[in-house]
Amino acid sequence: MSKRRVVVTGLGVLTPIGNNLHDYWEALKAGKSGACPISKFDTERFDTKFACEVQNFDPQDFMDRKEARRMDNFTQYAMATAQMAMDDSKIDLEKVDHERIGVVYGSGIGGMDTFETQHTAFMEHGPKRISPFFVPMMISDIAAGQISIRFRLKGPNYATTSACATSSHAIADAFILIQRGSADVMVCGGSESSITPMAIGGFNSARALSTWNDRMEIASRPFDKDRNGFVMGEGSGTLILEDYDHAIARGAQIYAEISGVGLTGDAYHLTAPAPGGEGAVRSMREAVRDAGIELTDIDYINAHGTSTELNDANETAAIKTLFGDHAYNLVVSSTKSMTGHLLGAAGAIESIASILSIKNSLIPPTINLDEPSPECDLNYSAKKITEKEIKFALSNTFGFGGHNASLIFNKFEE
């Protein structure tokens, strides 16, 4: 059975450096840092006092006040970008089969802020002060549910949760569902809002976060010799994936095609990547095989590139192991140097960055890369834009627990 072609027909994004597609792309090109002092809680007792927060977001631009109060921030973000992506796709919901449109939408952590707020209410006032909306506000799958309710989408509907690989898995699943004929259109992506005391405190205890409080704007520095941890980010990204024939029939705009996915497990360690990025090698290799292309066809890799000691060295090693000499011909960059690490939403906003790079023949910089580590010796588009025609781009995300996901997007050709 021949596989159905799958194209990208709508995009929506909410990030620390831009609250819509245009502003996000302009900020990426400009090398804008989203790092700022944390405003969501008092950081006096914390080792890390900064993050990449979403700025000037008003949920009432996308829903009424009552609806917003019954949603955690991560769901508000998801609803906002889903609305943006649906509007961008120009799908006429009065002319489509709602049973053929589904949602796969993830969050690595879900309603962390809701959990902390409600637990405080319980500890201070007892169980009768727990909100009746506590559980549906907190659970990670609720964003997928809310999106389907908003747009009356009755196709496949569920959430993915695989730490930092969450939204890449959501995109991969949506792609596969369309390929196999289970849906014609899928809304997919991920959302995260975990700049909270427990999350910052937990990652501090694990020594995963940068503590450069006096130089926060340059703290996210993937592949640099002075990197000392990632910078927490928040936000959401939504993609509309569509069967090629369905998209052509309705005259849809097409940003790019998604042609391959690679999904693997390290089976090695709770938080550390397998030595040499062995699992990453396999996920990238599988994505290339699935796309039916050669390794030398890849022009650009949007790296996981977290600014942690282990990830950046192991991801670089994995790229060199798989691509051999071609590793030095392609361009690698990390947009986390600007957005920070959006955890479960990272794969979605980075897939969108990859798609925009293809569309505009332009690779955003890896900012703050002053002096690469000796083992990090590839072309990372350091501190500058790279103008390059991109036919195939690969986006990597790797999560705690050994979850690896690699996605391949390509320039659309009929």
The residues annotated with a catalytic role in the active site are 164, 304, 341
Alpha-carbon distance 51 to 219, whole Å?
Answer: 10
Alpha-carbon distance 341 to 305, whole Å?
Answer: 9
Cα angle 181, 187, 188 (rounded to 5 degrees) comes to: 100
The span from the first CA to the last CA of the chain, in angstroms, equals 20
Cα angle 255, 257, 261 (rounded to 5 degrees) comes to: 135
Residue 159: is it exposed, middle or buried by C-beta count within 10 angstroms (0-12/13-18/19+)?
A: buried
Question: Which residue from 76, 174, 112, 137 is spatially nearest to 407, judged by alpha carbons?
Answer: 174
Alpha-carbon distance 339 to 35, whole Å?
Answer: 8
Q: CA torsion angle for 50, 347, 27, 312 (degrees, to 10)?
A: 70
Task: Give how far Cα 193 sits from Cα of 135, 256, 303, 364, Å.
Answer: 16, 28, 22, 25
Phi, psi (5° rounding) for residue 292?
Answer: 70, 35
Per-residue tokens: 37: 């002092």
Alpha-carbon distance 151 to 314, whole Å?
Answer: 41
Q: Cβ–Cβ contacts within 10 Å for residue 135, how many? A: 14
Helix (H) or strand (E) holding 93: none
